[in-house]
Structure 1
Amino acid sequence: MDFALREEVVSTKGPLSGEKIIEATAVTGGCIHDAWKIKLSTGEKFFAKTCPVENIGMLKYEEIGLASLNEKIDPNFLIIPKPIITQKLETAAILLMSWIDINRGNERKLGEGLALMHKHSAEHSQKSFGWQEDGFIGRSTQVGGWRKSWGECFVTLRLAPQLAMAEEWGLCIQKDKLFSKLIEYLDKHDPQPSIVHGDLWKGNTGIHRDGKGIIFDPAIWWADREVDIAMTKLFGGFSIDFYNGYNETYPLAKSHEERSDIYNLYHLLNHANLFGGNYQQSSISTLDKITILLSK
């Protein structure tokens, strides 16, 4: 963190006004924002993300997501960074949150904690799917809005915007026919709305020193809980302990794997639209598999 930004953070109007920063080191792993470990003279530690001022909306969405997920977890099983403030400074926007030491280890409590978050939120949901405003999935907009129908929500608010962008690299399909079949198929599944992390790949998880699971960097919305489970399998890396912990706490339907390709198509299309390359072919292959599934 450069000197000017450090001075802004502890200035009279800064988020750490009057404090003395003795350490502000870069944290690797993110590809969108700059990330920092901040240590004060008091010994207190914080995690901060900074970005250009015009992108402050991305940080505000993350702040809301972290706060919302924290309300739904059992802290005996799952830890999520606590957001402190999102603020517009002169040279950057900043999201300040609690610091958590992240390790690797047995993932059973991670699975149990995710299951409890899904279960608790489903029991206290507003019975609609979606989110109240536009958010973000990586650098892409994640369209806001509410739908009573799960199929309509996933198709119109998630797949349709990504498929529209995919036309720019040559993916052209008979969308009306696909959409109607998908909506009917997903509505027959008839899930309860749960609050979901929304971007649950291995890099957005960890294990605390006491064995509790850690999740961060959410792309929050109300959805079928299976979207989180499907994404854990898209890029892999989760252990059998994770899945056992989840299923023993909040069992999945035996048919859940049938829907994984549908749910992961959203993320594959997003990656294809952002990065191109092999993600484009993976999107096409997944669409082919979904077409076969819907024709049965």
Structure 2
Amino acid sequence: MPVSNVQKLNAETAQAIKVLSGLDFSGAEARALGGGCINRVLEVRAHDGPCCLKLNAAGALPMFDAEADGLAALAGNGAFRVPQVLACGATADEAFLLLEYIELHPLSGAEDGRRFAEALVQLHLDIGEDFGWGRDNFIGASPQANTPHHAWAQFFVRCRLAPQLERARSAGYGTALGSELEQVLARVPAMFLDYCPRPSLLHGDLWNGNAAVDAGGRPVIFDPAVYRGDRDADLAMSELFGGFPTAFYATYRAALPPAEGYAQRKTLYNLYHVLNHLNLFGRAYLGQAERMVRSLASELLR
């Protein structure tokens, strides 16, 4: 480890981890891992090898609890390799989530894309009764409501778009987004008159930073925001920031071809993530949100 990157764990955190997991990190050295803009993410080493440790203020424990729940759900499906949760808890000052360390590699090439798509198909064929989830969780650092609904359009409006719109208004972006967004929300059910998605198990935040393969080439997913919803929502998110191989889309669509209207649904579903980025990171995402609202309005308000 470079000396400048080495740090020590808080002694109380190390003791709490030992109580929960039996792993002793007292005096252990840790190094920062890339990719954490919400939490501190460290590689820590016990006698058995490295682990991944996420840290945040003690008040962030509900976020780590929700992440552990989501990882368990994904692991239970069995399609992907998912980091095993080793400990989750908090001291007076610090919340922590200790995970199995996996050597991660970006998706690069046709074989990675094909395997990842096959795993995602298996995940999405895990069908439940209702849209939503048994508990609320988080999308990034934002609370994400998961109240079960029988109707997908109602769920997506009430539990996804409406809360983000309310946060945007509170932050002063309501005027810029205009009344069109409210009108779009009212017309969302019209998009699903001829398309009835099933409640698939979703990762919920499937951008390329949460997708990888391990050293043996097995697909890996992590940092979930799980719920049951339209499988197109995961596929749409994968296109928002790019980075997935072409073979991924060819393989996925060969198994589960998108129904007519996917392009419009993609804009709707990704509007949720862009509004969330607007609310978390500021007005750099406002123009993109406005363009998406105008695109949807031009189709839905004709």
With normalisation by structure 1, the TM-score equals 0.90
Find the counterpart in structure 1 of residue 103 from structure 2.
101
Aligned positions, number: 288
Find the counterpart in structure 1 of residue 3 from structure 2.
none
Find the counterpart in structure 2 of residue 50 from structure 1.
55
CA distance in structure 2 between the partners assigned to 1:131 and 1:178 by the alignment = 25
Kindly provide the CA deviation profile for residues 45-82 of structure 1, in whole angstroms up to 9, marking residues without a partner as x. Answer: 211111111110010010000001111132xxx21112
> Does 2:79 correspond to 1:66?
no
From 145, 148, 163, the counterpart of 1:146: 148
With normalisation by structure 2, the TM-score equals 0.88
Gapped regions of structure 1 (runs ≥ 5): none
Assess if the C-alpha contact under 8 Å between 2:7 and 2:31 holds in 1. Answer: no
CA RMSD of aligned residues (A): 2.1
Assess if the C-alpha contact under 8 Å between 1:116 and 1:249 holds in 2. Answer: no
Find the counterpart in structure 2 of residue 8 from structure 1.
13
Amino acid at match of 1:156: R
Find the counterpart in structure 1 of residue 197 from structure 2.
191
From 162, 171, 174, the counterpart of 1:160: 162
CA distance in structure 1 between the partners assigned to 2:9 and 2:253 by the alignment = 49
Amino acid at match of 2:245: S
Find the counterpart in structure 1 of residue 239 from structure 2.
233
Find the counterpart in structure 2 of residue 35 from structure 1.
41
Assess if the C-alpha contact under 8 Å between 2:197 and 2:230 holds in 1. Answer: yes
Q: What is the CA-CA distance between 1:90 and the residue it aligns to? A: 3.6
Kindly provide the CA deviation profile for residues 82-138 of structure 1, in whole angstroms up to 9, marking residues without a partner as x. Answer: 21221112431111111110013332211111111111x12xx12x11123321111
Find the counterpart in structure 1 of residue 89 from structure 2.
87
Q: Please give the secondary structure, in 1, of the residue aligned with 2:160.
A: helix
Question: Percent of aligned pairs with the same residue?
Answer: 32
Gapped regions of structure 2 (runs ≥ 5): 1-5
Find the counterpart in structure 2 of residue 210 from structure 1.
216
Assess if the C-alpha contact under 8 Å between 1:36 and 1:49 holds in 2. Answer: yes
After superposition, residues 271-286 of structure 1 pair within 5 angstroms as 271-286=277-292
Amino acid at match of 2:41: A
Query: Comparing 243-252 with 4-13, which one deviates more in the overlay?
Result: 4-13
- Cα–Cα, structure 1 residues 70 and 136, in superposed 2: closer, same or farther, change >3 Å? same
